[in-house]
Structure 1
Amino acid sequence: MSSPVRRVLIVLPAYNEEGSIAEVLNEIRSHHPSVECLVVDDGSADATALVARRVGVPVARLPFNLGVGGAMRLGFRYALEEGFDAVVQVDADGQHDPAAVPALLKELGAADIVVGARFAGVGTYEASGLRRVAMRVIAAVLSRTAKTKLTDATSGFKACGPRAIALFADHMPAEYLGDTVEALVIAARAGMRIVQVPVSMRARTAGRPSHNPIKSAVYLVRAFVALGFAFLRPAPHVRDAEGTVHP
């Protein structure tokens, strides 16, 4: 992991984000004009794919909604096939600040996965009620599993190096919270090194948030179910660059 990152792909899983996707893509280009992007349209019923293509960004379309994990698995497979050295996951709703991407990539020199953490001393993002309790407990469990301090195990703002790209191209789960909680458990059990960097999270630029206080109890139950399934799955095998499988 000591070699510098060469080719970077920013993957944006998008579901009904026609109101925000153009602004997000233009902001990414303004900060990182040489970085390639891929929008994965996760079965949207609106013009998300059309708007992204008008901006000049390639789009991979799923025939129906699989969730962020399913969309990201497609993105990782594309990155693996096209020889990218790093994948950065960025939300299509504008919550992730593209200006923070270099800070994530910088840490890939010594790690396989870098998590942009919301609860690490930067920004004012807050989660309330049972949802915040669930986040704290899950972060504590993941910290023990990954043998490093993680304050935000549910962040979708992440950078992945070559080993993690190969792992997630085969093993990224599509279930609820699969791209966050379960993916980190899978990575830790596969021997990946995971670190975090503090980031500031922003409000959505359009559309509706996926959670609200009324759904906190449901989130709590589903989060711990996702965590349980993550530990029940067999430890994954990882392909190297030549396609050889390693335990």
Structure 2
Amino acid sequence: MKTLIIIPAYNEEENIKKVVENIIYHFPQYDYIIVNDGSIDSTAEICKSENYAFLNLPINLGIGGAVQAGYRYAKANDYDVAIQMDGDGQHDISYADQMLMLIGDMKADVVIGSRFIENKGFQSSGVRRAGIKILSVLIKICTGVNVNDVTSGFRAVNRKFIDIYSKDYSNDYPEPEAIVSAVMYGGKILEIPVVMNERQGGISSIKFWNSIYYMIKVSLAIVIRRISYGIRRK
């Protein structure tokens, strides 16, 4: 299957080269596209000087806008599968083969790399894990589907969801909403156990108060998206 790795990047000058060089030298069977999301550091300059494949967004759209730009690129270039992974070194692309196997065998439309199946590797803070659990329960109530690692940005989707996400993708903290959308559009979701690394450099954009805002906003967005889909069906 023709596969694209989408790498959203905002101020990842400390990490982007290691992430991309690993793909180029160890996983050349996959295409990749970096989406530089209006970085104010040297991320764009590194991509340009190293001749990486990248899209340069003129302003910061946020993680959802950057990922959606990647999906639009995947659709325009006729990819069968898109794999999204962070540009901070947390995700191990060696799990891609397992993701692709599940999609290729038509066992899943969306495959999510989960930290919380085997509980190995970097597990995030206790506060964030509690928040993730709350969102997981809310998604189960709204959709009937149980997903453990609802905020994981490491996931693969088939051609159907490349098309859907290129048109309909939440702009701000999108991962949980994308799960709800996948269920509402009739997609089958599977999780696989993965080991994630701690951020290799730079600073996470999610602070304590951001986390509070995140929980409130995403919880409301999940409920509204579920209700709006039900209204559209009527």
- TM-score (norm: length of structure 2): 0.89
| Structure 2: segments with no counterpart, 5+ residues | none
Matches of 1:39 and 1:231, distance apart in 2: 31
Specify whether residues 44 and 50 from structure 1 end up closer, same or farther in structure 2 by C-alpha distance, changes over 3 A only: same
Q: Say yes or no: does 1:191 pair with 2:186.
A: yes
Q: Say yes or no: does 1:203 pair with 2:213.
A: no
Counterpart residue number, 2:44: 49
Counterpart residue number, 2:56: 61
Matches of 1:18 and 1:10, distance apart in 2: 19
Q: Return the match for 2:9 from 7, 14, 19.
A: 14
Contact 1:129 1:216 in 2 (8 A): no
Q: Say yes or no: does 1:116 pair with 2:113.
A: yes
Matches of 1:154 and 1:185, distance apart in 2: 12
Counterpart residue number, 2:130: 133
- DSSP-derived class of the 2:153 partner: coil
- DSSP-derived class of the 1:234 partner: helix
Q: Say yes or no: does 1:225 pair with 2:190.
A: no
- DSSP-derived class of the 2:156 partner: strand
* Greater mean alpha carbon deviation, residues 164-173 or residues 28-37: 28-37
Specify whether residues 76 and 124 from structure 1 end up closer, same or farther in structure 2 by C-alpha distance, changes over 3 A only: same
Compute the displacement of 1:127 (Å): 3.6
Contact 1:31 1:98 in 2 (8 A): no
| Structure 1: segments with no counterpart, 5+ residues | 1-5, 238-247
1:23-48 superposed Cα distances (whole Å, 9 cap, x missing partner): 10011123311211101111111221
Q: How many residues align?
A: 231
Q: Say yes or no: does 1:107 pair with 2:93.
A: no
CA RMSD of the aligned region, Å? 2.3
Matches of 1:32 and 1:145, distance apart in 2: 38
Compute the displacement of 1:147 (Å): 4.5
Matches of 2:231 and 2:62, distance apart in 1: 21
Matches of 1:235 and 1:64, distance apart in 2: 34
Q: Say yes or no: does 1:27 pair with 2:39.
A: no
Counterpart residue number, 1:39: 34
Q: Say yes or no: does 1:98 pair with 2:112.
A: no
Compute the displacement of 1:19 (Å): 1.4
What fraction of aligned residue pairs are identical, expressed as a percent?
A: 32
- DSSP-derived class of the 1:114 partner: strand
